[in-house]
């Protein structure tokens, strides 16, 4: 195998596509294949992809750190310009790529995409297995598995593409699959609306994304570099430094436009509104697409484009601020929701906000780390919630639940593990990833961001405890019918829960920071991708500061913020610095855990012992805050009034314009033509036809008169003949 190429990479996305085609054909031709075969096709294709992804991961590990990438180009998709060959001094020639543009359908496996591939295939496979149990009673199972496989294909395309075009194809592909799966039960109108909403809101983001990468492409083209390949972009990004466009740095513009795309796909403010509605889809879909994988595409994309973002402190600042505000905002909404899946949806929005906070403070590896652990525990939360819903005969309202822990112990156990993980209790996975993000925020000088993120963490622990308390503890409030059907889910659903529970528990150990006695292997693994920008010492230093305790340069803003413990000296105090630094980090970890535990205990106390407090809190200030939260700050209504209705009005106006003006012009022309034509026709009839008919009629009339002469009476003829001869003779004799 030549270094850096690996043809098996193409099979990783291709296998789920084949599965999707088989199951899609089966659904199209009326489900002729037996159920079990559909399940096998759906699951095995993803499983083989998982094995291949793992193979890629092992291959990467075998390479030296600087060369950890595998690429495979299936074929050249788009090609523009000519291949040039420039003569060199020694008589040979060299290929000149300047001025030549080429887009391959190419796949890239590097540490970042390897992580994403493993998450997508791993969590994806578990969810496929889970779906075999969850969809067992649904007649549309073949269509469901087809979409699920298609989604896996698109997502793998997204994370494995070696250029922005392939990424974008995957980006749109997952958007489509998301739409198709949200509206999976399309016979119910709200589901169809939710799918449309998701699609339309995503399109708004995609629009920004397209502008972003076109701008990037164009600006680099100004420097003679025509490429969309990530590795080439990363190598040439420094050319953009100093370029300005209307007083704004071009890099900032590109980064912000791309971030618009990320806010759409990853449900950040202000485009998060589609995600809670997306819960209309089947629960495995919520777990796979709207928790574990698709919504993290924005995080992946920004990590992939990190070489651009570190060049633009302003853009990073925006990312971090939007992220932390979304985290806090969504967490408050999560406090007052009663639908179990809605709580989890807002929780997802909130956790995604954390990831963007991580990215925004320059800690790309921390963001991706949280992405991974979140995929585990949030995937698990959704699957377990699905198991609850399944057990409760499709009941989603937590007010109808309660006391379920005895009835569905496996679901409860795994749900509890995931809850503790998301709350951030040591040593569960969420602790390591969330804590790292908060720590990096503090460390890079984003004090306010840290405070907001810290509050959001407390709220997270509180609303998750509320969810658990309302669902699993207390009195059972369900109907007799539901109680009768209450049962633990089949093993196909429980097994993935257990595997994910193990991952949610232990997944964080990959990235134990040095301050807590680990080596942060996750960070080192991603370092070649997110830290390979030697041109930007600033950033590298800030990222490594956690381990090496060097100068605490801040990636954003360029000013040097004092380190948390107040020391700014270089070199000499490095060792002291190091130790003090670690102590600070440990302290922050401790208060995080205390906050989370405190919130959990408070939640349990409020929702189990003193439910009157919860009721009083709901009635606080006349119930206005509670109603505000319960109705999600009326954001949907505001959007509806501000944008949707105006847009509809505008489109109605356009439709009216079309109907009355455009159609009017067309119809008017038609009427005019008809009028002139009828005049023409009248003239034609009257004069032209008249003349023609006149000739004919005259001839007919003449003929009719003449035919009377021919009587058939020979004697008459003879009489006329005699008369004629007589006349001729008279004329001849007497007149001539």
Partner 1 sequence: MIGLTHYLVVAAVLFVLGLVAVVSRRNTIAILMGVELILNAASLNFVAFNRFSPSFPAAFDGQVYSLFVIVLAAAEAAVALAIIFAFYKINRTVNADAANVMKH
Q: What is the binding site for partner 1 (CB under 8 A)? A: 710-715, 718-719, 722
**Least Å distance between CB 721 and partner 1?**
9
In the chain, DSSP finds a helix count (H) and a strand count (E) of 30, 6
What is the spatial distance between Cα 152 and Cα 164, in angstroms, rounded to a whole number? 18
Q: How many CB atoms lie within 10 A of CB 673?
A: 10
Residue 147: what are its φ and ψ, rounded to 5°?
-65, -40
Supply the DSSP symbol for 634.
Answer: G
**Least Å distance between CB 719 and partner 1?**
5
**Residue 58 or 718: which CB sits closer to partner 1?**
718
**Residue 571 or 732: which CB sits closer to partner 1?**
732
Q: Please say whether the beta carbons of 415 and 381 come within 8 A.
A: yes
**Least Å distance between CB 686 and partner 1?**
39
Q: End-to-end CA distance of the chain, in Å?
A: 129
Q: Please say whether the beta carbons of 160 and 105 come within 8 A.
A: no
Nearest to 116 by CA among 353, 367, 345, 431: 367
**Residue 675 or 720: which CB sits closer to partner 1?**
720
Supply the DSSP symbol for 97.
Answer: -
**Residue 659 or 726: which CB sits closer to partner 1?**
726
**Least Å distance between CB 732 and partner 1?**
17
Angle, CA of 273, 278 and 284, to the nearest 5°: 145
**Least Å distance between CB 736 and partner 1?**
21
Supply the DSSP symbol for 655.
Answer: H
Contacts of 232 (CB under 8 A, 6+ apart): 225
Q: Please say whether the beta carbons of 233 and 107 come within 8 A.
A: no
Q: Please say whether the beta carbons of 368 and 299 come within 8 A.
A: yes
**Residues 678/680/685/691 CA torsion (nearest 10 deg):** 170
**Residue 34 or 722: which CB sits closer to partner 1?**
722
**Least Å distance between CB 712 and partner 1?**
3
**Residue 1 or 709: which CB sits closer to partner 1?**
709
Angle, CA of 234, 370 and 115, to the nearest 5°: 55
**Least Å distance between CB 710 and partner 1?**
7
What is the spatial distance between Cα 654 and Cα 659, in angstroms, rounded to a whole number? 8
Q: Is 303 helix (H, G, I), strand (E, B) or coil?
A: helix
**Residue 575 or 709: which CB sits closer to partner 1?**
709
**Residue 695 or 723: which CB sits closer to partner 1?**
723
**Least Å distance between CB 713 and partner 1?**
7
**Residue 92 or 715: which CB sits closer to partner 1?**
715
**Least Å distance between CB 703 and partner 1?**
15
Q: Please say whether the beta carbons of 386 and 283 come within 8 A.
A: yes
Residue 273: what are its φ and ψ, rounded to 5°?
-60, -20
Q: Please say whether the beta carbons of 15 and 152 come within 8 A.
A: no
**Least Å distance between CB 728 and partner 1?**
15
The string of DSSP codes covering 337-371 is: --BHHHHHHHHHHHHHHHHHHHHHTT-HHHHHHHH
**Least Å distance between CB 716 and partner 1?**
8
**Residue 648 or 729: which CB sits closer to partner 1?**
729
Residue 339: what are its φ and ψ, rounded to 5°?
-85, 125
**Residue 88 or 733: which CB sits closer to partner 1?**
733
**Residue 80 or 730: which CB sits closer to partner 1?**
730
**Least Å distance between CB 706 and partner 1?**
14
Directed axis angle between helix 537-548 and helix 574-604, to 10°?
Answer: 70
């Amino acid at each position: 195998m030549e270094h850096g190429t690996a043809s098996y990479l193409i099979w990783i996305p291709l296998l789920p596509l084949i599965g999707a085609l088989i199951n899609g054909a089966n659904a199209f031709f009326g489900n002729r294949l037996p159920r079990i075969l559909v399940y096998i096709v759906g699951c095995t294709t993803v499983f083989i992809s998982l094995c291949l992804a793992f193979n890629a991961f092992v291959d990467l590990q075998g390479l030296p750190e600087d060369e950890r990438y595998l690429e495979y180009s299936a074929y050249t998709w788009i090609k523009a310009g000519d291949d040039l060959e420039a003569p060199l001094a020694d008589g040979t020639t060299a290929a000149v790529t300047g001025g030549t543009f080429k887009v391959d359908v190419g796949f890239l496996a590097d540490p970042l995409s390897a992580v994403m591939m493993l998450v997508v295939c791993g969590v994806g496979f578990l969810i496929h297995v889970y779906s075999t149990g969850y969809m067992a009673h649904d007649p549309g199972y073949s269509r469901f598995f087809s979409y699920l496989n298609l989604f896996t294909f698109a997502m793998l395309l997204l994370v494995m593409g070696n250029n922005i075009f392939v990424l974008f194809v995957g980006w749109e592909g997952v958007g489509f699959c998301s739409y198709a799966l949200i509206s999976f039960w399309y016979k119910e109108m709200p589901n169809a609306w939710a799918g449309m909403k998701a699609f339309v809101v995503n399109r708004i983001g995609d629009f920004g994304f397209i502008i972003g990468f076109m701008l990037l492409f164009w600006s680099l083209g100004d420097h003679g570099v025509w490429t969309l390949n990530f590795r080439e972009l990363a190598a040439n990004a420094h050319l953009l430094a100093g370029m300005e466009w209307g007083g704004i740095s071009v890099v900032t513009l590109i980064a912000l436009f791309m971030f618009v795309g990320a806010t759409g796909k990853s449900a950040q403010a202000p485009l998060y509104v589609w995600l809670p509605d997306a819960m209309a889809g089947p629960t495995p879909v919520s777990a796979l697409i709207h928790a574990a994988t698709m919504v993290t595409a924005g995080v992946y994309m920004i990590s992939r484009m990190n070489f651009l973002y570190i060049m633009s402190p302003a853009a990073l600042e925006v990312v971090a601020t939007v992220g932390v505000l979304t985290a806090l905002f969504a967490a408050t909404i999560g406090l007052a929701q009663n639908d179990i899946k809605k709580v989890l949806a807002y929780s997802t929005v909130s956790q995604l906000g954390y990831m963007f906070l991580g990215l925004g403070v320059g800690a790309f590896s921390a963001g991706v780390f949280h992405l991974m652990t979140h995929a585990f525990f949030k995937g698990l939360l959704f699957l377990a919630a699905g198991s609850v819903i399944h057990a409760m005969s499709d009941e989603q309202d937590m007010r109808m639940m309660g006391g379920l822990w005895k009835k569905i112990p496996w679901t409860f156990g795994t749900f509890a593990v995931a809850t503790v993980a998301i709350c951030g209790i040591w040593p569960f996975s969420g602790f390591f990833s969330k804590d790292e993000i908060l720590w990096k925020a503090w460390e890079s000088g984003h004090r306010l961001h840290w405070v907001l993120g810290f509050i959001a963490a407390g709220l997270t622990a509180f609303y998750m405890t509320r969810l658990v308390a309302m669902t699993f503890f207390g009195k059972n409030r369900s109907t007799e019918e539901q109680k009768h059907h209450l049962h633990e889910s089949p093993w196909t659903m429980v097994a993935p829960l257990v595997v994910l529970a193990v991952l949610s528990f232990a997944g964080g150990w990959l990235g134990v920071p040095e301050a807590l006695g680990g080596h942060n292997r996750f960070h080192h693994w991603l370092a070649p991708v997110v830290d390979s920008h030697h041109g930007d010492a600033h950033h590298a230093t800030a990222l490594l500061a956690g381990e090496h305790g060097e100068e605490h340069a801040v990636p954003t803003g360029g000013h040097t913020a004092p380190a948390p413990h107040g020391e700014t000296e270089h070199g000499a105090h490095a060792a002291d610095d190091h130790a003090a630094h670690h102590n600070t980090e440990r302290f922050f970890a401790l208060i995080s855990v205390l906050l989370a535990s405190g919130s959990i205990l408070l939640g349990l106390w409020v929702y189990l012992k003193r439910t009157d407090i919860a009721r009083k809190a709901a009635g606080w200030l006349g119930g206005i805050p509670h109603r505000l939260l319960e109705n999600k700050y009326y954001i949907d209504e505001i959007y509806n009034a501000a944008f949707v209705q105006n847009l509809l009005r505008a489109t109605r106006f356009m439709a009216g314009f079309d109907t009355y003006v455009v159609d009017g012009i067309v119809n008017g022309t038609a009427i005019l033509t008809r009028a002139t034509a009828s005049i023409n026709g009248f003239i034609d009839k009257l004069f032209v036809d008249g003349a023609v008919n006149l000739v004919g009629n005259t001839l007919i009339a003449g003929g009719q008169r003449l035919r009377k002469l021919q009587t058939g009476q020979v004697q008459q003829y003879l009489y006329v003949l005699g008369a004629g001869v007589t006349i001729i003779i008279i004329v001849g004799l007497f007149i001539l």
